[in-house]
Structure 1
Amino acid sequence: MIDRYSILDPIARNNTKYKHLKTEENPSPILNIFRLISGTVNIKDNYIGTTYKIRDNNIKFPTEKNIKIKYETLLELFDENVTLADLNNFFLKARLNKKFYRSIEVELIKSLIAYKDEKYLESFIYLYRIIEGISYSIPLIFVSKKDDYNKTYHDMQSYFGKDKDGELQFFKRFVSETFKDEDFYKSNITIDLQLVDIEELRPKYYDLYLKKINERFILDKAENSYIKVKFIGYYDLLIELRNRFFHNLKGTWQENFESTELLFPDQFFKPITLHGINWLSIILFEIIKFDLQKIK
């Protein structure tokens, strides 16, 4: 079966070096994920012929737009001791869990294209599918590569917690324990209500967001304007919004969204989705960096 999407490489088109960094020469899904989240590729829809320029660098926190892209754009994301030769060698050897990373790649492409097409609800759906798909596997992959068996066993115990309450909480504990000292983890995310194009909807959506965010994760807010949320609290918000939008059981204690509340669901998810892609991309990049260190 012909794949619907092709990842085109605008950096390496006329460059004969570092062929394992070239998406059109190296079929590695890990490379494709890296290039997608760094905003350094084009995506062609082979069925309708449209080409999308992916320039949002979601590895930066917060997201930055790439104005010009070149190999040095890739290097800027790593420590200064990492060279292009190192990256070329890494993506040559990064072949494990290919099927798993391939599934992430496909969902990521769909999320990014939907966002470019301003289909923010659709983009959110694919974003959430990735989170569900990696919530158990990524922590296991990460700890399996550690050298210290005792440390690995201790980490696994802490990720499960006492209540063993599902894979999504397992993933949250993994992120909290593993990255708690990183700058991005200590930072915050601003939900900007000004991104909602229909001004009359902003007060309603502001109230809906507030109801779904645990108060201990809110750092600052301005009525109908913005809400600042802790990094890990944003993960909880993504899960909560998914549950309240896609579940519609009656007679439960959960307060689900009514369709009358979200007359324009794309507008509701517009201030949320890119931050979610940014959040996810940072975690995926941390896994890639960890793999690179192990190979080096």
Structure 2
Amino acid sequence: MKTFQVLDTPRSSQALPEELRSGAKLPHISDIYKILMGRADIKRVSSGHIYKCRYDFVFETHTNGIIGSNGFIARITEESVSKADFLKEFSRLKRDNVEFYKNLRQEICHCIVALLEESYVESFVYLYRSMEKVAIAFPLQYISSIADFHKAKEALDSLFRSDSGELAFASKFAKLLSKNRDYLTEYKVSFYTEIENVNEFKVLVKEINRCCPDTFKENADINEDEGYFSIDFSQVPSLIVNVRNRLFHNSNSGQANFNIDKIGGAEELCRMMVYGGLHWLTLVYGEVVRERLRKI
């Protein structure tokens, strides 16, 4: 029995065609995008409790939860396409990798629900699981959609050089996306804090820098007045991995681990990682779906 069920908001349900509704056959790909765009509800099956997803992780802003077919199509495809053609292509797309997207949808539901319940450490666990799940699947799906054989081979070769590990694979894929998509070339992902005291924010940043120097020290732009830091789009998976490793381990093997007492607990650190990480994941998800639609 599944834990969560995705629902369209009442007004979106009226505005969306049957093919894009959460009650349609094989709704997983569109459900994920609606959740991450802040245009869906999540129902806990056991209790019937409804969680309203009203935060758009692409534009990092709150929403009214409403989306129609034109808005949905515009967010997924950048090309001029008729509604009928899009629905035909999308109906073919959602028949691929059904179990993968079904499982990913549930992981993201767990992540978002924990976030809405302000259980930030738990939400971070589900974010990590989601990123690890897509780390190899998304690059392979993306490359399989590249029509030019030489470009596809070049892209595939770039992913299998040097580093091992699934999220290292995701980092190289992020670099590939940055190379292929102009808007991502110099794009930075920001991680915001709710800490109002500047000195407390400085302590948190210092701890992140101490524990994650390879992905933070040379790459981060820090704004102490506004309470956030930004890193390159391609560095986000590495940061998430390093935070997870240094937060969930506390050995005396010589590696730096987060001083939980110094940063006032793990919740705020994890909240920052979840919001920034979901922004990254939503951008990547959109690029993969967009590229696969071009192939159809």
Is the TM-score greater than 0.5? yes
User: Does structure 1 residue 285 correspond to structure 2 residue 286?
Assistant: yes
Match of 2:40 in 1: 41
Runs of 4+ displaced beyond 6 Å: 197-200
Kept in 2, the 8 Å contact 1:111–1:123? The answer is yes
Compute the TM-score of the two structures, normalised by the length of structure 1: 0.87
Please report how far the alpha carbon of residue 29 of structure 1 lies from its aligned counterpart in structure 2 after TM superposition.
Answer: 1.5
CA deviations on 1:198-232 (whole Å, 9 max, x unpaired) are: 77743321211233243221234437933232222
Q: Aligned residue pairs: how many? A: 288
Alignment counterpart, residue 231 of structure 2, candidates 217, 229, 232: 229
The runs of 5 or more residues in structure 1 that have no matched partner are: none
Please report how far the alpha carbon of residue 76 of structure 1 lies from its aligned counterpart in structure 2 after TM superposition.
Answer: 3.8
Match of 1:75 in 2: 73
User: Does structure 1 residue 52 correspond to structure 2 residue 51?
Assistant: yes
Kept in 2, the 8 Å contact 1:59–1:285? The answer is no
SS in 2 for 1:146: coil
Kept in 1, the 8 Å contact 2:120–2:270? The answer is yes
Q: Hey, what's the Cα distance between the residues in 2 that align with 1:145 and 1:221?
A: 39
- Once structures 1 and 2 are overlaid, which stretch shifts more, 130-139 or 229-238? 229-238
- Look up the equivalent residue of 2:245 and give its one-letter code: N
1:6 and 1:226, CA in 2 relative to 1: closer, same or farther beyond 3 A? closer
Please report how far the alpha carbon of residue 190 of structure 1 lies from its aligned counterpart in structure 2 after TM superposition.
Answer: 2.9
- Look up the equivalent residue of 1:170 and give its one-letter code: F
Q: Hey, what's the Cα distance between the residues in 2 that align with 1:189 and 1:227?
A: 8
1:205 and 1:294, CA in 2 relative to 1: closer, same or farther beyond 3 A? same
State the identity as a percent: 23
- Look up the equivalent residue of 1:75 and give its one-letter code: I
The runs of 5 or more residues in structure 2 that have no matched partner are: none
Kept in 2, the 8 Å contact 1:43–1:52? The answer is yes
- Look up the equivalent residue of 1:229 and give its one-letter code: I
Match of 2:266 in 1: 265
Please report how far the alpha carbon of residue 282 of structure 1 lies from its aligned counterpart in structure 2 after TM superposition.
Answer: 0.6
Kept in 1, the 8 Å contact 2:38–2:65? The answer is no
- Look up the equivalent residue of 1:105 and give its one-letter code: R
Kept in 1, the 8 Å contact 2:167–2:238? The answer is no
Kept in 1, the 8 Å contact 2:26–2:98? The answer is no
User: Does structure 1 residue 172 correspond to structure 2 residue 171?
Assistant: yes
Match of 1:64 in 2: 61
Q: Hey, what's the Cα distance between the residues in 1 that align with 2:273 and 2:66?
A: 26
